[in-house]
Structures are given as structure tokens and as C-alpha cells.
């Protein structure tokens, strides 16, 4: 559904949406509910009034409201020319609708019933460039946009996502990096607490794939940094993940 049609429909009442779509940033005056139960509580509270001057959007968390409130979907094609202006104008909406970079590791930990987890971090690859090669969702960089700070936001700090995976019972933890821990402080920080024998430095991504083929992939957590590679290699990495 296009933006104009969505804006018209939103005047009729609240809608459940699938978030992580940049086009929602083009909708002004939004009241957003991350969980349907929050909206449900306000809807049935006789002492509260729902805002009549805002367009109400509710995250599709498959709560009991999914049967009471209609869903609405936006096309994913985005007007890239005006996107930067819109993000600054509707930054509050962006913080609510988009996954934050600082919440990436939390999102991974929330995924239920997984056997194996791959976290592949690519340095210097933008969302617009990446989605030319594979289906992906946008993430809001909610902090300093450089390698050191960005990578740490993704993995989390003290404890890192690897440490959290250990606490969840994922005992098979492996790491792959272009840089060694001895020559790069960021690598040392990102790959805590992966044992030395399960940490591999590489110059070509094929070395990572060859190493993975030798392992029993079930029940493990694998994290990989890609620093200096062409897009075909990066694409190969994400296809291997699936």
C-alpha cells in the first residue's frame, strides 16, 4: 500500500503495523505502541482518552489485539532523496519504529527456539547498498557512527553478546576476525570471552567458510567481523547464514 492511501486510512482509527519500514517516518503526528497490551490497557481505561490528534500505530506483536484491530502494510520502496530530512524531522518516530543499533544484541537474544546463531558484522556497508544484494531491515544508529562505537553497540559491553550466549547455555562459541586480538583492541573487546583455540584470524572469507564446514554447527554461536572485502564476499556471507 502506498503512503497516500495509508495516510487516508489512518484517519479512520488505529492500525497494527509491521515496523522496521522507513516509510512510516513519512507519517506525521504518530502515537506508537510497542506492545498491543499497552494500547489495550488504555483503550479499556475509562479514566483515559486516546489522542484524537494523532495517528495511532501498534506494533504487530501478535497479541490479542490482532483480532480487534485491522492491520496495514506499507510498500518498502523508500523515497531516498528526502529520507535524511524526514529522519531528523520525525526522529522520535524513528526511535520507536526502527530497531536501534544498541538493541541489536537484545533482538538476537529474544529469538526463540534457535539451534545456531550467526552474527556477521560488516564495517562500512550502508543499508541502501546492502539491500541491493539481499533482503534486510533498516537499523537506526543511535550513537556515534564510527567503527569502534558502532561495533560495541552491536555486541554490547560487559557482558558482550558472546558472554550472554554462554549464560543461555550456548557453550560452542566461535569467532572469526580479520585482525588478531593482540594487534587490535577493538577485536579483543568484541570477541570476549571466546577461547583462543576457537578464535580464527583470516585474510579471505573462504577461510571462514572452510573452517565452518569442519564444525558441527548445531547449538553454537558464531560471530564474524568483515573489514576489507568486496560485496560478492559479503553477499556470500549472508547467504551462508541462511
Same domain, residue pair 117 and 74:
no
Last-in-domain residue among 62, 97, 132: 97
Same domain, residue pair 151 and 35:
no
The pair phi, psi for residue 3, each rounded to 5°, is -60, -45
Same domain, residue pair 141 and 193:
yes
Same domain, residue pair 186 and 134:
yes
Q: What is the DSSP string of 68-122?
A: TS-EE---S----TTHHHHHHHTHHHHHHHSEEGGGHHHHHHH--S-S-EEEEEE
Last-in-domain residue among 40, 72, 97: 97
Last-in-domain residue among 74, 97, 120: 97
Same domain, residue pair 211 and 152:
yes
CA–CA dist 149, 156 (Å, integer): 10
Residue ranges making up the domain that contains 209: 101-241
Same domain, residue pair 7 and 124:
no
Same domain, residue pair 51 and 106:
no
Q: pLDDT 10s per residue in the chain (242 long)?
A: 677 777 777 777 787 877 667 878 888 888 888 777 777 787 777 777 777 777 788 777 666 666 677 887 777 667 677 777 888 888 888 888 888 889 888 888 887 667 778 888 887 777 777 777 777 778 888 888 888 888 888 888 888 888 888 887 777 888 888 888 888 888 888 888 888 888 888 888 888 888 888 887 776 777 777 543 333 333 333 333 32
3-class DSSP state for residue 25?
helix
Same domain, residue pair 72 and 34:
yes
Same domain, residue pair 107 and 93:
no
Same domain, residue pair 10 and 38:
yes
Please tell me the pTM assigned to this model. Answer: 0.73
Instruction: Quote the number of domains for the chain.
Output: 2
Same domain, residue pair 53 and 18:
yes
Same domain, residue pair 217 and 230:
yes
Amino acid at each position: 500500500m502506498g503512503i497516500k492511501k495509508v495516510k487516508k486510512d489512518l484517519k479512520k482509527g488505529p492500525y497494527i503495523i509491521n515496523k522496521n519500514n522507513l516509510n512510516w517516518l513519512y507519517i506525521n503526528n504518530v502515537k506508537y505502541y510497542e506492545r498491543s497490551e499497552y494500547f489495550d490497557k488504555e483503550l479499556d481505561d475509562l479514566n483515559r482518552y486516546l489522542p484524537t490528534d494523532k495517528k495511532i500505530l501498534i506494533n504487530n506483536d501478535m497479541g490479542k489485539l490482532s483480532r480487534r484491530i485491522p492491520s496495514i502494510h506499507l510498500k518498502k520502496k523508500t523515497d531516498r532523496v528526502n529520507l535524511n530530512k524526514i529522519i531528523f524531522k520525525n526522529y522520535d518516530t524513528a526511535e520507536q519504529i526502527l530497531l536501534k543499533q544498541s538493541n541489536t544484541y537484545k533482538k538476537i537474544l529474544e529469538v526463540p527456539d534457535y539451534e545456531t546463531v550467526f552474527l556477521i558484522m560488516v564495517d562500512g556497508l550502508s543499508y541502501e547498498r546492502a539491500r541491493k544484494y539481499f533482503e534486510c531491515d533498516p537499523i537506526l544508529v543511535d550513537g556515534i557512527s564510527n567503527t569502534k562505537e558502532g561495533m560495541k553497540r552491536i555486541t554490547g559491553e560487559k557482558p558482550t553478546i558472546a558472554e550472554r550466549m554462554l549464560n543461555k547455555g550456548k557453550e560452542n562459541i566461535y569467532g572469526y576476525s580479520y585482525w588478531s586480538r593482540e594487534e587490535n583492541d577493538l577485536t579483543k573487546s568484541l570477541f570476549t570471552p571466546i577461547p583462543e583455540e576457537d578464535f580464527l584470524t583470516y585474510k579471505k572469507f573462504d577461510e571462514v567458510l572452510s573452517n565452518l564446514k569442519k564444525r558441527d554447527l548445531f547449538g553454537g554461536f558464531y560471530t564474524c567481523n568483515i573489514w576489507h572485502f568486496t560485496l560478492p564476499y559479503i553477499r556470500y556471507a549472508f547467504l551462508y547464514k541462511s
